[in-house]
Chain A
Amino acid sequence: MESEQLYHRGYCRNSYNSIASASSDEELLDGAGVIMDFHTTEDDNLLDGDAASPGSNYAMSNGGGAASSSTHLLDFLEEPIPGVGTYDDFHTIDWVREKCKDRERHRKINSKKKESAWEFTKSLYDAWSGWLVVTLTGLASGALAGLIDIAADWMNDIKEGVCLSAMWYNHEQCCWTSNETTFAERDKCPQWKSWAELILGQAEGPGSYIMNYFMYIYWALSFAFLAVCLVKVFAPYACGSGIPEIKTILSGFIIRGYLGKWTLMIKTITLVLAVASGLSLGKEGPLVHVACCCGNIFSYLFPKYSKNEAKKREVLSAASAAGVSVAFGAPIGGVLFSLEEVSYYFPLKTLWRSFFAALVAAFVLRSINPFGNSRLVLFYVEYHTPWYLFELIPFILLGVFGGLWGAFFIRANIAWCRRRKSTRFGKYPVLEVILVAAITAVVAFPNPYTRQNTSELIKELFTDCGPLESSQLCQYRSHMNGSKAFTDNPNRPAGPGVYAAMWQLCLALIFKIIMTIFTFGLKVPSGLFIPSMAIGAIAGRIVGIAVEQLAYYHHDWFLFKEWCEVGADCITPGLYAMVGAAACLGGVTRMTVSLVVIVFELTGGLEYIVPLMAAVMTSKWVGDAFGREGIYEAHIRLNGYPFLDAKEEFTHTTLAREVMRPRRSDPPLAVLTQDDLTVEELQAVINETSYNGFPVIVSKESQRLVGFALRRDITIAIENARRKQEGIMLNSRVYFTQHAPTLPADSPRPLKLRSILDMSPFTVTDHTPMEIVVDIFRKLGLRQCLVTHNGIVLGIITKKNILEHLEELKQHTEPLATSWYYHKKRYPPSHGSNGKPRSRVHYVQLIRSFQDGQGEGADGSEEEEVCLLDGSDL
């Protein structure tokens, strides 16, 4: 240390600042007995520079260039470098930096506001652009949802037959005015021809059945094939449900093209095909993705949102609310869904905008009226029958079923997806889709409950048996003849139709459970809500009918005696189906509040909130007993997205220095010095390391932290300087300070990079407990954090390091958990075997390479390649 500092004496040229300013305590403390170094004064210039920008704690100078002029008075001559302050694909954004940028921009607009009328208009436009963008998003997502609903209904009916009078009508619309429909067969009308009728000319008989069967499979296969081909050729990102990815994006990850125009178009088009192909999937999850695409695309119209990743995420939060709003016709449920499930950063302003977006979207969808029932969803039901206290027992049982199903589904689906991800089997996505579609179609057709559209199935199960119903589920034996039987619709003994329906429903339940596991994760747009709800609705209806019959045959039991008199109506099987649907959905997604709100918005009955809450809560408890994460978190983990879950608690006692990089066995931290590097050396450092950012220190002797520079910004700035500035050579000096260092007369022009330097990097000391660090990362949305000791930079903690650390701890505590290895593709692992702190001198090792000009790859900075968090354990 001494020798270094002594050496530094001669090394330092630029000592225009006062000697007195070198009063840094850390030097006094650390280098006890060391000759005081009077020359390390450049860092104090930093303080001066910061003082010149009052009110900006974070002195973000790299905010796209535009902001730098007001912060750093001396930099106003520099034109902003295009591209600085943007992010690479598969990188994490820095929320703090983005928010600062926005505040800076806002301040600028406000200060200019009074200058002229034009500026005032501009500021108004800026203030309103948030509402404008959510309005546009709501309009677009409502319209697209209407399009998807109408087209999916039509395509789904194409599998059965065609409307001869008007090709574009589905079955229901085809028989809209027909008077030939009868009470028993409500959907028969001469205009609608089944394929057997058209091809064979006969509507009945085994021949026509086989013909219809064949056409059903044919259409299902061709729809599935088209869907997967379109996805593969035009927009691979359009596959899947999209909610795990949107969650990750909202938490501050960049996946370029995931919310783009092509993804939007292909997802909209193929979603219709996928739903129509009869696969066990729904359109609700993908609708959220579609709405988010709209939000992203419209945010490009407004510079406030297009240039700021954090602001853009506010729009996306609102968009996801609009998506659920149109998917379920539940605007408030949508807002709560955005808050509870997808959003990461959700200020009140976003809440109101989400509310508004959901409102606009629901309004647009309602005015399109896709189902012709003046409702937003197909399975809207209305009950008015009361429920009784003893019914809570079957409701809770349904909740237990939902939780068990959720836990089982998550395990099975993740195991299957892992298989797809890691083995050769994943190489044939088209074949897989076709195979699953073929099996689904072959098995589904014979059973009327699986043949029909899943939404229609849910509607039928939700609907209670009134006198108006003629379906098989409602064929009760009426022991009273004539009009009396229908006056008050009492519970009646089940007829043969109900028993047959029971069998078919049981088979449908098993079929749906198996197929959904294999369907979710196919390379077509596939949502999970509808199949989960269908499974729950089937189970609920079965339980409901069972309880009903129990109450009928044993009406003298103490439970039923009080409420169910003979001939009185006390059990509503449709309500059981609804509770079951909510429970199963809750078990899979682990949502609570938003789910209950969505379901009661579906039914419009406030009196059923308690049963729903009981079932959903039970299913969450039961599900959490088998594994704490919902299906979306499980998929996030499977794919290894850098998602720091705010719900999980950190309870370990590790310290920051045990988590930070570099570890003991690693090469020292790659740092830059603030004024004695040349362009060539800087390029060498960048070329030979793969870190996304480099701490900038005063000098290699002092090691005190000056700031943090991102790799992307450095490369862009160097490239820009080469193009625009004259006289920048390979041996030009690079400096991050306010003033250029004094150089020999013959040296080329130096390159000033101060504008890309983040002079307020977040730092913690090496003794900070990790729980605090994790909290800081979660709450502020940091990307990286430097670890210092007495102002001297020791290492760095990135979001990825924290995720790795969490995973390590998890594997320590629960060794049975699924293995999730740290998996590096391109770079050697930076694992240190023990986390013991080294003595300080080791940390402060010099990087010789800066002098030699042959930058050795030093470890320790961050890298956020997506493959690094790869969960594959192949």
Chain B
Amino acid sequence: KMKSVFVLEIFSLACFVLLSQVSAKNAEDVRCKCICPPYRDVKGQIYKNNVTLKDCNCLHVVDPMPVDGKDVEAYCLRCECKYEERSSGTIKFTIIMYLSILGLLLLYMVYLTLLEPILKRRLFGHSQLIQSDDDVGDQQPFANAHNVLSRSHSRPNVLNKVEHAQQRWRRQVQEQRKSVFDRHVVLS
């Protein structure tokens, strides 16, 4: 299970990098931006154009030239042109992925904090019994060894395994919450 998670992670990572590379060449994604400061009676202005890196200079980008022919050189000397690139695909992908992960987490959070206690109470009615089951151990030194050893045993059932992993994760988070928020032993 661990391995597959990692493989998945690496895969998504590779996808991310690849995507950013592939989508870098979009027609809208390059611009040449020229900032021209005020000159005599001409106001300062910003020009943007879609040209190649080679053509990114004042003469190609500033299209309606605001000054006469003899002043063009002087005007253009003051302008600063920058060639800029972005990858809109990466931005789109990142934002959408981020928002979907955030949304999933929020849903899961709502489920964990609000829905699950209600469901449990309705289904079993003895949720406190299950709760107390989790808290066994930790105090006895041999319970810990028990845990360590049972971890190395393989479980036949996949569902069982997932359930077990989730239980363990929950207990860990509970423990973390206790040490961070209640006992204030770490991270304060």
Contact = CB atoms under 8 A, between A and B. Distances in A.
A715 B144 contact: yes
A639 B186 contact: yes
A639 B94 contact: no
Interface stretch (B80-88, B117-125, B127-135): B80-88
B187 A240 contact: yes
B177 interface: yes
Given A151-B95, A420-B188, A297 B6 contact: yes
Given A140-B13, A181-B46, A230-B105, 20 more contacts: A83-B152, A88-B144, A150-B94, A177-B50, A179-B47, A183-B38, A183-B43, A184-B44, A230-B109, A237-B180, A262-B173, A369-B86, A373-B84, A482-B40, A486-B78, A523-B180, A638-B188, A683-B142, A716-B145, A719-B149
B162 interface: no
A417 B39 CA distance: 55
B148 A86 contact: yes
Nearest to A521: B188
Contacts of A373: 84
Interface string A438-469: 00000000000000000000000000000110
B146 interface: yes
Nearest to A638: B188
Interface residues of A, number: 94
Interface residues of B, number: 74
Interface of A: 82-83, 86, 88, 136, 139-140, 143, 146-147, 150-151, 154, 166-169, 173, 176-179, 181-184, 186, 226, 229-230, 232-237, 239-240, 245, 255-257, 261-262, 265-266, 269, 272-273, 297-298, 300-301, 364, 367-369, 372-374, 417, 420-422, 426-427, 429, 467-468, 470, 482-483, 486, 521, 523, 638-641, 683, 686-687, 711-712, 715-716, 718-720, 723, 866-867, 870, 872
B145 A715 contact: yes
B181 interface: yes
The 9 closest A-B pairs by CB, nearest first: A183-B44, A168-B95, A83-B148, A715-B145, A236-B180, A372-B86, A719-B145, A467-B37, A421-B188
Contact of B96 (A168, A183, A240): A168
A483 B94 contact: no
5 contacts: A166-B92, A182-B46, A269-B101, A269-B105, A369-B85
Contacts of B52: none
A381 to B, nearest CB: 14
Contacts of A866: 179, 185-186
B65 interface: no
Contacts of B181: 232, 236, 426-427, 429, 523
B17 A143 contact: yes
Interface in B75-121: 78, 80, 84-88, 90-92, 94-98, 101-102, 105-106, 109, 112-113
Nearest to A150: B94
A712 B144 contact: yes
Contacts of A255: 186
A236 B106 contact: no
Most buried by A among B50, B176, B177: B176
Contacts of A233: 109, 112-113, 173
Contacts of A720: 145, 149
A483 B148 contact: no
Contact of B177 (A232, A272, A486, A521): A232
A720 B142 CA distance: 11
Contacts of B72: none
A234 B142 contact: no
Interface of B: 2-3, 5-6, 9-10, 13, 16-17, 20-21, 24, 28, 31, 35-40, 43-48, 50, 74, 78, 80, 84-88, 90-92, 94-98, 101-102, 105-106, 109, 112-113, 140-142, 144-146, 148-149, 151-152, 169, 172-173, 176-177, 179-181, 183-188
A272 B188 contact: no
B74 to A, nearest CB: 7
A140 B177 CA distance: 27
A229 B109 contact: yes
Contacts of A261: 5
B167 to A, nearest CB: 14
Contacts of A229: 109
A698 to B, nearest CB: 26
Given A83-B149, A638-B188, A719-B142, A368 B177 contact: no
B188 A716 contact: no
Contact of A257 (B35, B112, B113, B176): B176
A234 B105 contact: yes
Contacts of A364: 17
Contacts of B6: 297-298, 300-301
Contact of A143 (B16, B112, B179): B16
B91 A186 contact: no
A178 B2 CA distance: 48
A216 B162 CA distance: 42
A687 B141 contact: yes
A265 B109 CA distance: 14
B183 A867 contact: yes
A143 B13 contact: yes
